[in-house]
Structure 1
Amino acid sequence: MSLNLALNNALSGLQVNQSALTVISNNIANVNTPEYSRKVLQQQTRTLANIGAGVEVSGINRQVNEFLQRDLIANTTVLGYANVTTEYLNRTQTLFGSVGDNNALGNSLTALATAFEDVAVSPEISAHQFTAVNQAISVAQRFNQMQENIEDMRLQADIEINNAVTIINQQLEIIAEINSKMPQALSLEQPTGDLEDARDAALKKVADYMDVQHFVNTDGEMTVLTGGGSQIVSGPNASVLEHSQSTLITATQSYPTNLSGVHLNAGGVLTPANDITSQILSGRLNALFEMRDVTLPSLTAQIDQLAASTRDQLNRAHNRGANTPFGQGTGAADPAAMLGTRAFTNTAQALTLGSDVTMVILDADGNAVGAPGTISAGATTPDAIRNDIDTFLGGLGSAQWTADNQMEIKLAPGHRLAFLDNGPATEAGDAQIDFDADGDATPDTFFGLSNFFGLNNLYETPQLAGGVTAMELQGDQTGISRTIRVRSDLVDSPEFLSRGRISGTSPDLVLGNGNNEVAQEIADIFGENFVFASIANGPPGLTTSLSGYAGTILSYNSAITSAAESDAEYQTFLHQDITTRVLSESGVNVDEELSNMVIFQNAYQASARIVQTANEMFDTLLSLGN
């Protein structure tokens, strides 16, 4: 072996070992750097004309297990979904309060029952009337606040969706930019490990929000697709995701009618054709869409059903009572003493009244004024009933239709109008009314004449978006928990709260101040069971009390929250386990690096020794020549 070849071999060793020490020092420096993977210098024998000519660097590679990396990315998506789901479901639990919480919805309903019990015991005491009305207001406000909080949560989810889209777009740009650098780096045989680390970190951030598929081609470029197969990164080109953020979300707004999904390369024109929301199958984005469009609307439907049942059952009993407001005049500008909430598209539509209904005009002392009147049972129409009432009132009042075809009854000052149904005892005396209210050509059944027209309601539920007031089988019931309220004149004058019904024998009918029949019937409602329909993505149908259904809503949502928490805990454990396995493969072990450093230092020193020896031999040869 010539001295030149020996010297060249030694120099190549110096260079390779120096490069290896540089890689090791970089590994140690980045031991605590997130997403950094250990780099390993690969070396190979260099030959010239089949003769060993030292060593050379064949590459600096990442030490990464690709299969574990894919598992980690997939689990990151699942964990992102689980975390968002748990976060939002935990927030829903605060809407109901705990079982022992005085602010819990079920406890508020129980307090309302207690207030009416007090009214039934002493119907003449105004303080009890005031308390009952205030407690009814409190229940309504509880419904209102719950629905308002749900709307706020849906809006927050929509805001987070928009933020997520922004983050995803940023990370896709990073992946595309790194893709643009990879072919040149590979062609120049430059290290690409750090670029690949940065790209993997960006991909993992995307995977946190949405499920992705990816592969790397021979040029080192990564292609990324959504879980549903739409391409979002190809080479140096990144697609753009778009979402139109809402400023206000109500119960009646839904996707895709009013709320935006995620659109791909829409150029600001969001259409169903570029909507890829259905292709996002997991991750934070999927959970946010599920909360905004499925889980929280289901909760709204549950609360709306409870609000509607509370309204309908209490209104039915309250309409039996005779404590309606006093008339203030029969002129055109005078207010209505009784204003119905049911609106009729056709006041001449067929209606069947199952029992006679007695009408009585009362003075300020609760005594009948004149002889009672009768609305006869049988086939009739809403307008015919209005005409019967108007004819009976004579000079003491009038019954007319408003512009919305709601019955409006005006009375002379100091007078009241009371209705006494003569229906079966099994229905608390309420007359049965058969009327096709929803236009399906099949008569619907209602009970109580005053209740059917909504003349003496306790609760009202205006629709969220204009139109007629929602009531039993009328109007859009969606979101009524946001609008339920106690009738305004009852709020102003609690003495108009229904407590008793007309008693006596015709024509000597009277409303006694101590009559508590209706107040007791209202209190008894809270101990009765009613049918509650099943709710999509909510509890199944069941028969229970008002407070019982409030408890069902709470227990159902507590159950799904607990299941979500368990899943999040499991996914967190799994994520930690996979991360540990990934780090064991690709993480930097300082002890191992220091051990390798000693090896390469010794190799470097050995190469240096050969250089020194070769140098001494050259000096000896030169001295011999002299």
Structure 2
Amino acid sequence: MGNILSVGQSGLLAAQLGVTTTGHNIANAATPGYSRQIVVQTSAGGQSSGNGFVGQGTNVTAIQRVYDSYTANRVNASQTGKAGFDAYASQISQINNLLADSTTGLSPVLGDFFNNVQNLSANPGSSVQRQTLLSSADSLVARFQSLDGELSRISEGVNQQVIGTVSTINGYAKQIATLNDAIEKATSAAEGAPPNDLLDQRDLIVSELSKQVKVSVDNQPGSGYNVSFGSGQPLVIGTATYALQVVTSTTDQTKLEVGYQSGGVVLRLPDSAISGGTLGGLLDFRSTTLDPARNELGRVAVGLATAFNDQSKLGVDKNGQPGKDFFKIPGPQVSPSNTNTGNDVISATISNASSLTTSDYSIGFDGTNYNITRLADKKVVSTGAFPTAAIDGITFSKTAGSPPVALIAGDSFLVQPTLNGASGIKVALTNNSEIAAAAPIVTGAPAANGGNGTISAGTVDKSYLATPLASSVTLTYDSVTKLFTTSSSAPGFVSSTIAYTSGSNIVLGGATFQIAGAPATGDKFTIGPNTTGTGDGRNAVALGALQTARTLDNGTTSFSGAFGQLVNTIGNKTREVTANAAAEGTLLANAKAIQQSQSGVNLDEEASNLLRYQQAYQAAGKIMQTASTLFDVLLSLGR
């Protein structure tokens, strides 16, 4: 009778655990991170008798959670990828909407500005048209400043999100370490039985952590999960945590970076060392899209202003005075590292706007050499003595601090040539009469000339600024010798002869012109300085031509084209990141579906299990009832 009771009791207990476990599954069907649990039963074996081995019932060896680490890792990896793309897409869409907008972008106000330049060339004496041009220049400058301000605010937003993400990562790391400790204690107290719900909680925290940054997990028996990120830096080892810390860049006070606490020292991590998740997406966006976009916008502003200033100075204003700078152009920003020991001052100027890139530069001193690196492509563009020649359109200079303290190995500087280009550009002119719409030279031919020779209006280039015409020069022709003889009332003028070929260039004092046709002996032609700009719009025509002139990228791209390329690049990158986020979302959904098919709670299946365990419980109870009846029969026979 005892054996029958024991068998029935074991079945009763197994069925009771099955009902309890099934009920636990049903109750947690909607619990995030919960893995369904199953009762693992084994036979209690048999006892030898004269008729063979008689069964001893069943044993419950474990209550096991259905969990597949490979599938869980796939889910975490997809979450890491999707979170990174989502963070990138969220940020870049702001820039895309900002730059491409037909009303708030740069293109409309840039087109309006050059339309007014062209209108001035047609009516150079109009004060109304001149004032309209100045007003449109103010609007253009304001748009540059506004766009850069929005990009700056996006950068500040990235800083705040980096702070929040790092705090979240540190919080998750502490929770994992706490759960490691709790799991090990619970396992030890239960003589090795796994605390399934604690394990689920820990895996859920790891899953949430994978949304913040790419991590790798190593399950070490006896110490729990060891979690690392980046290039292997640990976040959690057993019950110990290693916190991330937000630090300010040593050379750019507006930029926050991620540091890693190790041995009481904060090690700065390069953005490239952190990948995946929200943090990786934010840092990737900032380094590959936001910073280059600000630099490109600044480069367009500097390129436009430089070209316009250069042409403006080749003209004369309404009062006949030489043209001035139309725009004020901010120079490069040079920031010494706050860890520098020496106090030498390094500065930079833009010597050739056409050669500017969108990159920042680092200057590092190794104790002997100055190494200048173009950060966009990590190329060392200069090494050795401090450079005297221009690099990518930038000229560097170095002066001693006060009191002078020489640089030592490890001192560095960050050079940002165009960072402030858009935010710092301003209109330099305050009076519309100062707009240099006229050309600086005038040419003429007396009506009394006997031949049919004609003289062109003439052009000037930058060399004219060094050798301008001081007064009018007369060219007198001799048809026998086919020579022009020059004369002028200017003090110190030296007469010369010029061989004549119809239509060929003649250069005087930095001015270039042509005489064509068949002049007669004694015919005279004059070229001299323009003393009044009224009614002359020739330089305004040249200013208007800058809209399509290729003045950037070493003469291969116009500033309109450069801005168009920026808008196109941002648009393409936005579509790429959005598509990648959608693709990663599909992979994540598939991975979660597989995980749920394995570990998720199916209420229909649990209802079936509940009925099965209920029937098993009733059957086991019937066995014990039968054993009791048989025992009562035996007792009655003994009486």
Q: 2:210 aligns with which of 200, 203, 207?
A: 207
Q: 1:303 aligns with which of 297, 306, 318?
A: 297
Structure 2 Cα separation of the partners of residues 163 and 287 of structure 1: 14
2:139 aligned partner, one-letter code = S
| Map of 2:423 onto structure 1 | 483
2:122 aligned partner, one-letter code = V
Q: Tell me the alpha carbon deviations over residues 434-475 of structure 1, each in whole angstroms, 9 at most, x when there is no partner.
A: xxxxxxxxxxxxxxxxxxxxx433343366679989995999
**Is 1:584 equivalent to 2:614 in the alignment?**
no
Q: What is the CA distance between 1:420 and its match in structure 2?
A: 6.3
Q: Tell me the alpha carbon deviations over residues 489-527 of structure 1, each in whole angstroms, 9 at most, x when there is no partner.
A: 42xx33322222445568885214222122222112113
Query: Normalising to structure 2: TM-score of the pair?
Result: 0.69
- The answer for unaligned runs of 5 or more in structure 2 is 49-53, 335-346, 357-415, 443-525
| Map of 2:313 onto structure 1 | 319
Query: Normalising to structure 1: TM-score of the pair?
Result: 0.70
| Map of 1:566 onto structure 2 | 579
Count the aligned residue pairs. 478
Q: 2:436 aligns with which of 498, 503, 506?
A: 498
Q: What is the CA distance between 1:571 and its match in structure 2?
A: 0.6
2:108 aligned partner, one-letter code = N
State how 1:145-544 maps to structure 2 within 5 Å: 145-187=146-188, 188-219=191-222, 221-244=224-247, 259-266=255-262, 269-272=265-268, 275=269, 278-323=272-317, 455-461=324-330, 477-490=417-430, 493-504=431-442, 509-532=530-553, 543-544=556-557
Q: Tell me the alpha carbon deviations over residues 239-274 of structure 1, each in whole angstroms, 9 at most, x when there is no partner.
A: 21111368xxxxxxx8788744322225775344xx
Structure 2 Cα separation of the partners of residues 417 and 127 of structure 1: 16
| Map of 1:251 onto structure 2 | none
Q: What is the CA distance between 1:27 and its match in structure 2?
A: 0.9
Structure 1 Cα separation of the partners of residues 205 and 228 of structure 2: 14
Q: Retained in 2: the 8 A contact 1:80–1:209?
A: yes
**Aligned-residue RMSD, C-alpha:** 3.0
| Map of 1:29 onto structure 2 | 27
Alignment CA distance shift 1:227-1:271 (3 Å): closer
- Give SS of 2:535's match: coil
Alignment CA distance shift 1:220-1:420 (3 Å): closer
Alignment CA distance shift 1:511-1:193 (3 Å): same
Structure 2 Cα separation of the partners of residues 216 and 483 of structure 1: 52
Q: 1:547 aligns with which of 532, 545, 560?
A: 560
Alignment CA distance shift 1:544-1:245 (3 Å): closer
Structure 2 Cα separation of the partners of residues 169 and 57 of structure 1: 40
Higher helix share: 1
Alignment CA distance shift 1:509-1:96 (3 Å): closer
Q: What is the CA distance between 1:166 and its match in structure 2?
A: 0.8
- Give SS of 2:257's match: coil
Structure 2 Cα separation of the partners of residues 60 and 581 of structure 1: 22
Q: Retained in 2: the 8 A contact 1:501–1:511?
A: no
Structure 2 Cα separation of the partners of residues 474 and 552 of structure 1: 17
Structure 2 Cα separation of the partners of residues 255 and 5 of structure 1: 82
Alignment CA distance shift 1:167-1:578 (3 Å): same
Q: Retained in 2: the 8 A contact 1:147–1:479?
A: no
| Map of 1:398 onto structure 2 | none
Alignment CA distance shift 1:220-1:618 (3 Å): farther
Q: Matched residues, percent identical? A: 23
Q: Tell me the alpha carbon deviations over residues 181-235 of structure 1, each in whole angstroms, 9 at most, x when there is no partner.
A: 2223223354421111111111111111222111223337111122411222111
2:561 aligned partner, one-letter code = G
- Give SS of 1:530's match: coil
Question: Relative to structure 2, which stretch is displaced further, 508-517 or 313-322?
Answer: 508-517
| Map of 2:98 onto structure 1 | 95
Q: Retained in 2: the 8 A contact 1:211–1:282?
A: yes
Q: 1:618 aligns with which of 610, 627, 631?
A: 631
Higher strand share: 2
Structure 2 Cα separation of the partners of residues 315 and 141 of structure 1: 18
Q: Tell me the alpha carbon deviations over residues 44-86 of structure 1, each in whole angstroms, 9 at most, x when there is no partner.
A: 2235877643222211111122211111112211112111121
Q: 2:619 aligns with which of 606, 609, 616?
A: 606
1:7 aligned partner, one-letter code = L
Structure 1 Cα separation of the partners of residues 529 and 147 of structure 2: 48
